[in-house]
Structure 1
């Protein structure tokens, strides 16, 4: 039997110089419990100074920044991202990632950084009595990727893997902890970012570059404690400025004198000036201070990272089930809105045919939304249906209740796989942008559906005798809503 404590210790003791790892990686094509995960964090700049100078208000200020970060991340990534930890004035998130969305998700991290920094700047320029305090503050970011597994045997077989450990806090609540060399490396990198900058791990930068993302810049090389056997590691920043000046646009005019890291950056960029590092890090006919594929391939060769990079590439293309690695075991809830509008004395309803789905592909449905933890069901329905169909809706709510919540017309369950039962609730919602929706149907290609229609109740019922397929209880759900709208008994419209 595998001993968990022994494996955790073995993860910590792996020699990141990789001299022995290259030859001992065990071939295993099973990827179900393994996936590449994106970690990214934000750290408040000069928070210690503010705690000293604003002893009566620093909690309000720093808490406000962290809340703004979390809200901006949730808006940008929606349910894809999970808060991992808040440690001091640093907040870290985890997110699933694959070859096709890697660039966009890192770009979104950069966008969050810019947006929150702008919010801090706006606070500085406001007439608030705390604006002077905000002038000292800023936000910096860091990100890395790592192969993560929750199977202890994988850690033995794959020395590059990081371990996702689920910790039970109480009967209804769990948290995740992550252990491994990439986790340690990520927090080491965090030391070498600056206000407005996003520092990246070498592996993350490599795949961004491989995906033709050239907005990266090499700052310098540093020896990170315990990383690559304490050999030089490239400090790489993501350029989010969209300007010719690049990352230097975020530098203060005298940063080259006051900040040693930025001073090194300027020295390393000058090929004529043989900086101390340029004298140490040299390869004939190759500039190791200009970021590019040849330069990064040379690092992979010298640090013996090819097995790790190849394994990451395989999992980015064919990721395992990441939910079990980073997400708490919450009930998966689906909310359906049967959308309608009145036309004359009758009603028309929105129906849609599913496409590119592993489950119930090609069947007619009414759409679906997954409620988010931070939103009400009404907010989630409005947002998701607007995103999927371009339709504006107002859910039918219970006016007798103080919270005016949507009225449930039915509940359902979907069994996709063994031991996984998804629950759902069906609501009704009135369409308020009818003419716009009609134009959308005539001109728009919908991402999740091959066909979207607005049809009368009678027309939809007549489809029952056709060869078309429908999700379970499609007609029963429609009848319940229709009878409510017509103020009739359900049995009268069957």
Structure 2
């Protein structure tokens, strides 16, 4: 019998522990990669809505010179209205005389609210055009005001969208993906943003089934908002059409959205759908002609004979759900909306790199130097719940110092004065450190890096912690004194990278000022 040496036994045991440790680390990395991949291909429910200029061709003919300026101002006003009324929305593109916007959906009530706001924006803009208010500017539009025939029509639809990132990713190719978002780099420093898929195509098809002063909705969208009684009353089935490439060329409902109360502000009364039609609307519009004919119980030759498919919207939507086998799709959309997590990541991000500007805000009192730190909300896309110093983003038309003061006032209700290098002709904050982070829209593609500078800013006035009001970015703030540095990891368990080092450096520089 060979006797085992104690040293050899211990060596084998140590090797076993090392192998087990390596195996555990590999498992952790594998799980992390799976989580990242799952996050990378997670679907978002996106609302698409468009404003199309009516009679633009005729307007261009009458106003041969200057019409481009008018349309440009119209799209600018629409963009501002949408951004002000529907926070978080983005303009995807302008196609000819049509502007298309998008926004991620996080709640079904939110979805109903957005649709109502889109309709009201359409109504208010048409009113301004018809009354000539749109032309009341510094520009010489008097002649074009007299010759104004412009109006708007609107469409809205939804789609479950995958941000695919790298389309060559094998897992992406294996996924059951109906609609995708992709970025194409056309040349160095420029990107093209594109949505592709069945529901995107359907949206463009249904957009042809609207007209001056009307808003058409896709079926999926109409079904979701119909679950609330008030929203259901705003839905009107005009007719049924075969739309090329939609539902295998089977009949599709043309559904108009109409809120009578949207007219109160401008016309001092509610206007029902039928009351909004002109007396000769059936002669001017095939869609309105079909609207009346479909409700005539004595009319022969109709494609659909059950009048309830026109007059009882709730019945019709559920009948379509059953007959077209759409229950699973609707359930999936509702679940995606229910599971959605709010984030600030945007689809249309023309900036290939951002410059982040961190200001370490401080004050001096009888107790010494105090630095203000803030805890990020758990809903943030990155560094959830971690402690940081706040951040502003540089913009082209403002100085870094001005931008920092504005954004910190907005985020923390605080007045600050950045520490400036007064010896330089261009007076900007003195950087005490530099850093870089992954770009906001980095998913599973090769990631771009945003750059950041860390500066100091003196707090103006007697700022108190209770002056802070919780926002979507931060949930609370706290003071840090130099004596806290010894226990900083236990005081602030969750920290952004270089949090402790930034505090130490800041105290050193502040004392030397």
TM-score, scaled to structure 1: 0.72
Given the alignment of the two structures, is residue 187 of structure 1 paired with residue 204 of structure 2, yes or no? yes
> Following TM superposition, by how much is the alpha carbon of 1:60 offset from its aligned partner in structure 2, in angstroms?
1.0
Paired position in structure 1 for 2:412 = 389
Deviates more, 1:69-78 or 1:130-139: 69-78
* 1:327-373 alpha-carbon deviations (Å, 9 max, x no partner): 56834654323334566897654322234257544443222345578
Q: Distance in 1 between matches of 2:287 and 2:460?
A: 54
Deviates more, 1:388-397 or 1:213-222: 388-397
Deviates more, 1:444-453 or 1:410-419: 410-419
Q: Distance in 1 between matches of 2:300 and 2:174?
A: 37
Q: Distance in 1 between matches of 2:212 and 2:401?
A: 38
Match of 2:141 among 130, 136, 145: 130
Contact 2:120 2:262 in 1 (8 A): no
Q: Distance in 1 between matches of 2:420 and 2:286?
A: 58
> Following TM superposition, by how much is the alpha carbon of 1:399 offset from its aligned partner in structure 2, in angstroms?
6.3
Paired position in structure 1 for 2:327 = 306
Paired position in structure 2 for 1:49 = 58
Paired position in structure 1 for 2:496 = 471
> Following TM superposition, by how much is the alpha carbon of 1:111 offset from its aligned partner in structure 2, in angstroms?
5.5
Paired position in structure 1 for 2:94 = 86
* 1:277-311 alpha-carbon deviations (Å, 9 max, x no partner): 99543448x4632433x331111122232233233
Contact 2:52 2:153 in 1 (8 A): yes
Contact 1:255 1:263 in 2 (8 A): no
Paired position in structure 2 for 1:368 = 391
Q: Distance in 2 between matches of 1:176 and 1:277?
A: 48
Contact 1:268 1:275 in 2 (8 A): no
Within 5 A, what are the aligned runs for 1:116-155? 116-117=125-126, 120=129, 121-124=132-135, 129-131=140-142, 133-134=144-145, 135-149=148-162, 150=164, 151=167
* 1:409-453 alpha-carbon deviations (Å, 9 max, x no partner): 322245799865664332344556756x66534xx4444444324
- 5+ residue gaps, structure 1, are 1-28, 489-494
Paired position in structure 2 for 1:11 = none
Given the alignment of the two structures, is residue 66 of structure 1 paired with residue 90 of structure 2, yes or no? no
Deviates more, 1:460-469 or 1:172-181: 460-469
Contact 1:155 1:161 in 2 (8 A): no
* 1:353-412 alpha-carbon deviations (Å, 9 max, x no partner): 234257544443222345578877567645644443334555556667777555443222
Q: Distance in 2 between matches of 1:115 and 1:343?
A: 53
> Following TM superposition, by how much is the alpha carbon of 1:181 offset from its aligned partner in structure 2, in angstroms?
2.9
Match of 1:289 among 311, 328, 342: 311
Paired position in structure 1 for 2:236 = 218
Superposition CA RMSD, Å: 4.5
Contact 2:405 2:417 in 1 (8 A): yes
Q: Return closer, same or farther for 1:360/1:206 CA change in 2, 3 Å cut-off.
A: same
Paired position in structure 1 for 2:195 = 178
Q: Return closer, same or farther for 1:123/1:477 CA change in 2, 3 Å cut-off.
A: same
Paired position in structure 1 for 2:467 = 440
Contact 1:35 1:322 in 2 (8 A): no
Rg: which structure is higher? 2
Q: Return closer, same or farther for 1:90/1:360 CA change in 2, 3 Å cut-off.
A: closer
> Following TM superposition, by how much is the alpha carbon of 1:129 offset from its aligned partner in structure 2, in angstroms?
4.2
- 5+ residue gaps, structure 2, are 1-36
Aligned residue pairs, count: 450
Q: Distance in 2 between matches of 1:287 and 1:187?
A: 24
> Following TM superposition, by how much is the alpha carbon of 1:62 offset from its aligned partner in structure 2, in angstroms?
0.9
TM-score, scaled to structure 2: 0.70
Paired position in structure 2 for 1:426 = 454
Q: Return closer, same or farther for 1:334/1:275 CA change in 2, 3 Å cut-off.
A: farther
Q: Distance in 2 between matches of 1:448 and 1:407?
A: 25
Given the alignment of the two structures, is residue 98 of structure 1 paired with residue 106 of structure 2, yes or no? yes
- 3-state SS of 2:310 partner: coil
> Following TM superposition, by how much is the alpha carbon of 1:326 offset from its aligned partner in structure 2, in angstroms?
6.0
> Following TM superposition, by how much is the alpha carbon of 1:246 offset from its aligned partner in structure 2, in angstroms?
5.1
Higher relative contact order (CA closer than 8 Å, sequence separation 6+): 1
> Following TM superposition, by how much is the alpha carbon of 1:147 offset from its aligned partner in structure 2, in angstroms?
2.9
> Following TM superposition, by how much is the alpha carbon of 1:38 offset from its aligned partner in structure 2, in angstroms?
2.3
Q: Distance in 1 between matches of 2:403 and 2:113?
A: 23
- 3-state SS of 1:214 partner: helix
Contact 2:123 2:263 in 1 (8 A): no
